[in-house]
């Protein structure tokens, strides 16, 4: 009896024994097995009498209303929660925060102490605790609302001994629970039961890549707000079974996206999956290696639609063109894949003269351009001979590649340098197609050099 918290725990079948309860007290087996059966009630005691005996024998578990104790001294005995069924006093959340604020300046880390809140605490009460902790400079805090866990180790008499809820707790807590359940059902119904269809004409992009020698075409479809809504996958030179599996996988992902499944869930589930084919990735600026085709697909989608640059191998700032490689609005000529020169041959002087003689009836007039002919000093520098003019074959060959009429020598030099030449004209054919050949210059049109072999 002295160790019991409640007198009802003493008068039960496990303490008195089944034989004594059945034979002496006349209790049936069904009554003993009933969870709400009480031996004291069976013997004829009223609930008020049992409570009075319980308070007298086992105590009230609180000092409130104790004789010879002043109410002004109650603050010294307050606890984190209400004590017993009759207790009303407990430490407020503000007192917890102020106690930790006093000790925080003397502690390098945070304080491992829980701020206990009653079961009827609202969201605004919790916000106020966090705000007050921030004002007093706490590094962190831990809050617990009474009744938040179904299996909490300490229960502050949420349920009385007859299995019924307290009236005060019943009025304050129960009305909020059905409302929370209804809201959850509404959200689940919205995201699972309905499908958000894509418009008939939609935007997106197509990304081509080669993964371990296998070509993959990834096509996306977007909603009006730019959110991803569908995915198409096409593998190049793959078997019918593998291509069909990839198409079915793309359809399944697209249906999930249209039913509200977040793209983040797909990314977390499929990134870093490993199977063949895998390896180096060609054709993608940000991704260079992938562990599988599925890994590459969701890396690309995460980088494009979720801004997950942590999954990219090349940072976005590295992809931007620098000022050293920017040429204004000049558009470079298109590059053709695997372009090769089949054959290349330089015409001899006699062949050039014969061809030009057939296509040209008379020698056209040339502007104020003179060809520098004469001897060279072996370093690519010509010694000027003012008496020499453009030879007949030189002028005809020059007109084949250059528009000389009405243009100055400086203009021709600039045009030659933009095309990759040195800007010097050949002393043999007159073309401005001289390139560097060691310490000398060489003409790519006729093969003449400025002194070197």
Q: Which value, in Å, is the radius of gyration of the alpha carbons in the chain? A: 46
Distance in angstroms (rounded) separating the CA atoms of residues 300 and 319: 15
Average pLDDT over residues 308-330: 64
Q: Is 21 exposed, middle or buried (0-12, 13-18, 19+ CB in 10 A)?
A: buried
**E strand segments, 93-185:** 114-117, 142-145
pLDDT tens by residue, 96-144: 889 899 998 898 888 888 888 888 888 899 999 999 999 998 888 888 8
pLDDT of 225 > 50? The answer is yes
Does position 426 have pLDDT exceeding 80, yes or no? yes
| pLDDT tens-place string over residues 242-278 | 888 889 999 999 999 998 889 999 999 999 999 888 8
Identify which of 40, 42, 46 has the alpha carbon closest to the alpha carbon of residue 6: 40
Q: Tell me the pLDDT tens digit for each residue of 435-444.
A: 888 778 888 8
Residue 151: which pLDDT band, with cuts at 50, 70 and 90?
A: low
Q: Where are the beta strands (DSSP E) in 73-185?
A: 114-117, 142-145
Class of residue 233 by CB neighbours under 10 A (exposed 0-12, middle 13-18, buried 19+): buried
Kindly report, residue by residue over 6-39, the tens digit of the pLDDT: 878 788 888 888 888 888 888 888 888 887 888 8
**Bigger pLDDT: 432 or 254?**
254
Tokens of 19: 């034989």
pLDDT for the residue 154: 61
Element (H, E) at 352: helix 349-359
Stated pTM of the model: 0.36
Nearest alpha-carbon partner for 377 in 432, 452, 444:
452
CA distances from residue 119 to 81, 116, 173, 185 in whole angstroms, order as listed: 10, 10, 7, 24
- pLDDT tens readout for residues 336-370: 566 666 666 666 777 777 766 765 544 444 444 44
Inform me whether the pLDDT recorded for 170 exceeds 80: no
For the segment 372-404, what is each residue's pLDDT rounded down to a tens digit? 444 444 444 444 443 434 344 444 444 444 555
DSSP secondary structure string for all residues of 16-72: H-HHIIIIIS---HHHHH-TT--HHHHTT--HHHHHHHHHHHT--SS-TT-TT--GG
Q: How far apart are CA 295 and CA 209, in angstroms?
A: 13
């Amino acid at each position: 009896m002295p160790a019991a918290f409640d007198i009802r725990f003493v008068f039960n079948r496990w303490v008195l024994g089944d034989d004594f309860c059945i034979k002496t007290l006349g209790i049936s087996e069904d009554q003993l097995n009933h969870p709400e059966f009480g031996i004291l009630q069976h013997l004829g005691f009223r609930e008020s009498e049992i409570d009075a005996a319980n308070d007298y024998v086992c105590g009230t578990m609180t000092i409130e209303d104790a004789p010879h104790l002043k109410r002004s001294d109650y603050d010294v005995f307050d606890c984190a929660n209400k004590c017993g069924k009759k207790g009303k006093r407990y430490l407020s959340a503000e007192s917890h925060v102020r106690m930790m604020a006093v000790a925080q300046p003397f502690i390098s880390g945070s304080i491992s102490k829980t701020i206990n809140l009653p079961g009827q605490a609202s969201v605004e009460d919790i916000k106020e605790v966090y705000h007050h902790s921030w004002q007093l400079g706490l590094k962190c805090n831990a809050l617990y609302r009474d009744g938040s866990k179904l299996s909490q180790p300490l229960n502050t008499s949420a349920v009385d001994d007859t299995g019924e809820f307290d009236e005060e707790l019943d009025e304050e807590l129960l009305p909020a629970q059905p409302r929370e359940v209804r809201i959850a059902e509404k959200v689940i119904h919205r995201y699972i039961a309905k499908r958000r269809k894509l418009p008939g004409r939609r935007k997106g992009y197509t990304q081509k890549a080669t993964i371990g020698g296998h070509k993959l075409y990834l096509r996306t479809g977007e909603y009006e707000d730019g959110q991803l809504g569908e995915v198409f996958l096409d593998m190049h030179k793959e078997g019918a079974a593998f291509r069909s599996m990839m198409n079915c996988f793309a359809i399944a992902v697209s249906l999930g996206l249209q039913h509200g499944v977040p793209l983040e869930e797909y990314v977390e589930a499929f990134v870093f999956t490993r199977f063949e084919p895998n390896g180096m990735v060609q054709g993608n600026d940000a991704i260079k290696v992938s562990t599988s085709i599925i890994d590459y697909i969701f890396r690309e989608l995460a980088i494009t639609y979720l801004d997950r640059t942590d999954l990219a191998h090349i940072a976005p700032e590295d992809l931007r063109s620098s000022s050293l490689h920017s040429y204004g609005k000049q558009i470079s000529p298109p590059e053709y894949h695997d372009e090769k020169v089949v054959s290349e041959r330089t015409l001899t002087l006699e062949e050039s003269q014969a061809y030009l003689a057939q296509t040209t009836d008379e020698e056209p007039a040339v502007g104020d351009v003179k060809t520098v002919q004469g001897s060279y000093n072996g370093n690519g520098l010509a010694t000027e001979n003012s008496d020499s003019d453009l030879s007949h074959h030189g002028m005809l060959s020059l007109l084949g590649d250059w528009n000389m009429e009405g243009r100055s020598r400086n203009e021709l030099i600039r045009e030659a340098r933009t095309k990759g030449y040195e800007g010097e004209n050949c002393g043999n054919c007159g073309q401005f197609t001289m390139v560097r050949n060691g310490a000398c210059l060489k003409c790519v049109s006729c093969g003449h050099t400025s002194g070197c072999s």
